[in-house]
Chain A
């Protein structure tokens, strides 16, 4: 293999820039992401300034749930760093555990979000239909609502199963600190689920709040939806590195470590966006 075919600076940094390619690439990409969310935030400011009145986020959204999700994401940023550090320390097993935790926390975040979303769609059919049809429509609506729960239950089941099997691995191989960490995180995840289920059960006391309900709801769904897609993207990327992607560790450990660093930068950004979203949407 002649040397000219190998791309330079995939592993070691270039001297004058101090960066390897992917690191520069991700910073540039994050620059564009700042502009993306910046565009949406400025839309938010403009629309809010022009609005005659604007609801307090807390009257529609649940602050405990939002706080919980904030904690989940911040924790996941920490575990992401730990994953990278583990690689630096040549500990692949620990790396897998921390990255797995990151993924699980991200899934927790998304699930909580899904329950939160679901709670905004309690449809009061009887307001739209004459009394005669009410019963039939109610039955139908009940059926549909029940069906909508199915994927969530499956998701929940998978989540618990994943926590369980991960915990098993951890109990065998790692120190007590790690075990308690896993337990703690599972517990908060569990509390989160309970909280959201509670909100879900409460849904009929709320109005129906779809995106078209008001400009506030429109902003809420668009911003959190787009953020959710970024979380999903992170899960996919991290899932790849957790699973098949880790083969690179065997022949190019340094490059693999770089990849995790880059994935981590992305993940911290996703976290950071939420840290802006939470006060803007829930508290202000």
Chain B
């Protein structure tokens, strides 16, 4: 109730206004800023690793000394640090970067606007969800400074390695519990909001595809994360109370038998982890598909091709994503029956992805396409996600996976999906919705300067990974595979990839400048600058507390572009008659 009063007392304190504001847009903005920071931080970690991979054992010039003797003696990276960087890069990018940005930020800002609601269903829980995320993030960052450094057993934290590693792993678990809590609170909120707060007339089949994507994503978060929480609790018990959930009998560490009761199962961790982490990969991609769909429909001035097919694919995909997880575990010695089951489900789950991708491609057919920056990023998403998805198919069949598992090919596969895929979609969304939040467009020239080099660098960065992986180079090697004779033919690619990464970093500068300078200097625009049909453009700019100046009603589907007989090429959802 207090928040209602705030709207009528413009003089609220700084803390209320910015930090403890329960308005969904402010929370979304905080999510976005924090997540962008973590994305940048995670990228910095990997740039350090790329130095070690390009120049194994060579001292890192200038900044190498800053890391101290325990991490980089004389500027040369220790293997322990390399492992920490790798594990934390994965954790930060997935759980603290992409998910909070794609779900926390985009979902929070856009869902209530797109469904014509004044706010999220539970504003205070929403705020709590952000702060749980923030605390989890702080714990993860702090873990770099405890004795032994941060978690170093990979973002997958496989047992028994994770159980016997240093204190950073305990911090990782506790941090994860906070991040999971945040996701659960967020998911409950998103689902309730979408089910309960749709404006009159806005039936499920009139929802923008973005909202559908967030809806299925929230279900995945709600149901897939708790088993990982259970697993995290068990790993915590293994580490702190010396239980043996994941510790088999007769385990030797450095030639010494461990003093534990034994009888645990290392595969149990993998099952629980991947039961989350496969749905999690769809959490990484579905919101991106949603963003891209909105932008493509808008900029091709055509309805989405096959909206219904896309929605049903999405639902089917969400369901199937719970029964494919063991395709990450083909080489753990599972029987042929079980393996066949998971191969079959994995092949089946790629069908809905293909349907969605095809529908998006066909949506372009015959459109009068506007090639602005958001559209460029959205268009690039399509083939990049295509490469990522297609490279997944060989991994989904156990025979090729025996060769490819744990090689750089896997790294190439999912980075194609997440980096030039999801991250491009997130960039596209920032360029696209920036005018709604600020009243100004971002600069097109800087946008192009951001897009083209980033696209080129992405491919120079991730295509060689596929090649190295096919040659059999393993992932997570401190020297990039220098020791192995089979890797010699592809080692020179390490340099290529590293330079691609560093150059790509440089070309993020135009983006940062663009965000900041456009706040004051961008081209001023009206409330609906892209001529869009969905509800978020019906608000004032920026949308005030409570969002809508009228009681929104919905009369039509989300993508009525170029309706025959209309005088303008878009007919908004909230408009009663075609004019």
Binding site for B on A (CB under 8 A): 1-9, 14, 17, 19, 21-22, 24-25, 28-29, 31-33, 35-40, 43, 46-47, 50-52, 210-215, 217-218, 221-222, 226
Which of A14, A43, A52 touches B234 (beta carbons < 8 Å)? A43
Query: Could you say which residues of chain A place their CB within 8 Å of the CB of B192?
Result: 21, 24-25, 28
A50→B265 contact, CB < 8 A: yes
Considering only CB atoms, which chain A residue lies closest to B276 in the complex? A39
A210→B241 contact, CB < 8 A: yes
Residues A215 and B118 in contact in the complex (CB < 8 Å), given A9-B196, A36-B230, A39-B227? no
Distance, CA A152 to CA B191, complexed state (A):
42
B268→A46 contact, CB < 8 A: yes
B197→A8 contact, CB < 8 A: yes
Q: Tell which of B182-190, B341-349, B401-409 binds the partner.
A: B182-190
Distance, CA A84 to CA B409, complexed state (A):
58
A51→B263 contact, CB < 8 A: yes
A35→B227 contact, CB < 8 A: yes
Distance, CA A36 to CA B551, complexed state (A):
40
Q: Quick one: CB contact mask for B384-420 with A, threshold 8 Å, 1 for yes?
A: 0000000000000000000000000000000000000
B309 at interface, CB cutoff 8 A:
no
Q: Tell which of B453-461, B542-550, B565-573 binds the partner.
A: B542-550
Considering only CB atoms, which chain B residue lies closest to A219 in the complex? B245
B226 at interface, CB cutoff 8 A:
yes
B264 at interface, CB cutoff 8 A:
yes
Query: Could you say which residues of chain B place their CB within 8 Å of the CB of A38?
Result: 226-227
A39→B231 contact, CB < 8 A: yes
Instruction: Compute the total of residue contacts between A and B using a CB distance below 8 Å.
Output: 146
B237 at interface, CB cutoff 8 A:
yes
Residues A32 and B187 in contact in the complex (CB < 8 Å), given A5-B545, A17-B196, A218-B245? yes
Q: Quick one: CB contact mask for B112-128 with A, threshold 8 Å, 1 for yes?
A: 00000111011101000
Considering only CB atoms, which chain A residue lies closest to B189 in the complex? A25
In residues 183-242 of chain B, which contact A (Cβ within 8 Å)?
Answer: 184, 187-189, 191-192, 195-197, 222-231, 233-234, 237, 241-242
B222→A1 contact, CB < 8 A: no
Query: Could you say which residues of chain B place their CB within 8 Å of the CB of A35?
Result: 222-227
B260 at interface, CB cutoff 8 A:
yes
Distance, CA A6 to CA B123, complexed state (A):
12
Residues A215 and B230 in contact in the complex (CB < 8 Å), given A24-B196, A29-B184, A221-B237? no
Query: Could you say which residues of chain B place their CB within 8 Å of the CB of A9?
Result: 121, 196-197
21 contacts between A and B (CB under 8 A): A3-B551, A4-B547, A5-B7, A6-B4, A7-B197, A9-B121, A17-B196, A25-B188, A31-B222, A38-B227, A43-B245, A43-B272, A46-B271, A47-B264, A211-B241, A212-B242, A214-B261, A215-B263, A218-B237, A222-B233, A222-B245
Q: Quick one: CB contact mask for B270-290 with A, threshold 8 Å, 1 for yes?
A: 011001000000000000000
B388 to chain A, nearest CB (A): 28
A4→B223 contact, CB < 8 A: no
B372 at interface, CB cutoff 8 A:
no
Distance, CA A50 to CA B264, complexed state (A):
8
B243 at interface, CB cutoff 8 A:
yes
Distance, CA A14 to CA B202, complexed state (A):
14
A5→B118 contact, CB < 8 A: yes
Considering only CB atoms, which chain B residue lies closest to A20 in the complex? B196
A39→B241 contact, CB < 8 A: no
B373 at interface, CB cutoff 8 A:
no
In residues 120-173 of chain B, which contact A (Cβ within 8 Å)?
Answer: 121-123, 125
Residues A47 and B4 in contact in the complex (CB < 8 Å), given A7-B121, A32-B223, A226-B233? no
B184 to chain A, nearest CB (A): 5
B243→A212 contact, CB < 8 A: yes
Query: Could you say which residues of chain A place their CB within 8 Å of the CB of B244?
Result: 212, 215, 218
B226→A36 contact, CB < 8 A: yes
B312 to chain A, nearest CB (A): 21
Pick the 7 closest A-B CB pairs, nearest first.
Answer: A39-B230, A39-B227, A218-B243, A36-B226, A35-B226, A212-B242, A5-B546
B8 at interface, CB cutoff 8 A:
yes
Known: A32-B226, A46-B271. 5 other contacts (CB 8 A): A5-B118, A8-B196, A28-B222, A38-B227, A50-B263
Query: Could you say which residues of chain B place their CB within 8 Å of the CB of A22?
Result: 122
Distance, CA A8 to CA B550, complexed state (A):
15
Distance, CA A32 to CA B233, complexed state (A):
15
Query: Could you say which residues of chain A place their CB within 8 Å of the CB of B263?
Result: 47, 50-52, 214-215
Query: Could you say which residues of chain A place their CB within 8 Å of the CB of B191?
Result: 24, 28
A218 to chain B, nearest CB (A): 4
Query: Could you say which residues of chain B place their CB within 8 Å of the CB of A17?
Result: 195-196
A47→B226 contact, CB < 8 A: no
Distance, CA A14 to CA B121, complexed state (A):
13
Considering only CB atoms, which chain B residue lies closest to A222 in the complex? B237
Residues A28 and B233 in contact in the complex (CB < 8 Å), given A36-B227, A212-B242? no
A272 to chain B, nearest CB (A): 16
Query: Could you say which residues of chain B place their CB within 8 Å of the CB of A40?
Result: 230, 233-234
Considering only CB atoms, which chain A residue lies closest to B260 in the complex? A212
B119→A7 contact, CB < 8 A: yes
Distance, CA A52 to CA B248, complexed state (A):
12
In residues 76-115 of chain B, which contact A (Cβ within 8 Å)?
Answer: none
B265→A46 contact, CB < 8 A: yes
Which of B4, B123, B223, B234 touches A222 (beta carbons < 8 Å)? B234
Considering only CB atoms, which chain B residue lies closest to A252 in the complex? B1
Distance, CA A31 to CA B188, complexed state (A):
10
Query: Could you say which residues of chain A place their CB within 8 Å of the CB of B230?
Result: 36-37, 39-40, 43
